[in-house]
Amino acid sequence: MISFPAPKSLINTGTDTDIGTGTGTGTGISPGAPTSTEGAPLDVSTSLPSSSGDPSGTVVVADDDPDIRALVVMAVRRAGGTVSAAVEDGQAALNEIRSAPPALAILDVTMPKLTGLQVCQALRADPQTAGVPVMLLTAAAHPEALEAGRAVGADEYATKPFSPRALADEIRRMLARVGRDGRS
């Protein structure tokens, strides 16, 4: 559970996020699977609206943990991006990115079928996707893990656990850089 004072704008998250308050305890948010306004599960593999409505900020999110994936989707939306796909394995991420190269790919390092490192390496080897910026997410913060990410061409490396607010800020910076550089 993440506990912090939450502004009203965070209350309607578009997910089945549990939000509770208690005297002197702040607001607690427990992320769950994204849901529709009717409470049914939301297919996050389809395009979700961004908070800015800017179609140039498309992002593919890949993480095998549904709670982390939901948090990353929320961070992308908070950063003003649009999630074009949110998938649970590396092969699905690679397929999505190849079919419609996004402005940014956020990949968990440890996933089934293909790791984030393997996806990043495949993207860099393909001229159609070589320019797609990649952020890797991992629980491993040791120097060897960081070097492995640099070796395959990752642009950023975020370690878990992460602050959703800090992740949103980094996503916003990466999307702004893409807009300036015309990358992807």
Alpha-carbon span 107 to 117, nearest angstrom: 8
DSSP 109-153: SS-SSS-HHHHHHHHHHSTTTTT--EEEEES--SHHHHHHHHHTT
pLDDT digits (tens, 9 = 90+) for 69-103: 999 999 999 999 999 999 999 999 999 999 999 99
Q: Which residue, 114, 34, 20, is CA-closest to 70?
A: 34
Domains and CATH numbers, the chain: 8-42 (no CATH), 43-181 (3.40.50.2300)
Question: What DSSP character marks residue 103?
Answer: S
Residue with tokens 């948090």: 71
With a cut of 80, say whether residue 117 has pLDDT above it: yes
Query: How far apart are alpha carbons 166 and 153 in whole angstroms?
Result: 22
Query: Model confidence over 34-72: pLDDT tens digits?
Result: 433 333 333 333 333 333 333 368 999 999 999 999 999
Listing DSSP states for 46-96 in one string gives: S----SS--TT-EEEEE-SSHHHHHHHHHHHHHTT-EEEEEESSHHHHHHH
* DSSP for residue 41: B
Percent share of the chain, pLDDT over 90? 54
Contact criterion met (CB below 8 Å) for 117 and 109: yes
User: Could you tell me the pTM of the whole model?
Assistant: 0.70
What separation in angstroms does the CA of 46 have from each of 61, 84, 142? Answer: 11, 6, 34
**What is the chain's mean pLDDT, rounded?**
75
Judged against a pLDDT cut of 60, whether residue 29 lies above it is answered with no
**Torsion 106-111-117-120 (CA) sign:** negative
Check: CB of residue 170 under 8 Å from CB of residue 156. Answer: yes
CA separation for the pair 158, 146 (Å, rounded): 9
Nearest to 3 by CA among 20, 21, 24, 26: 26
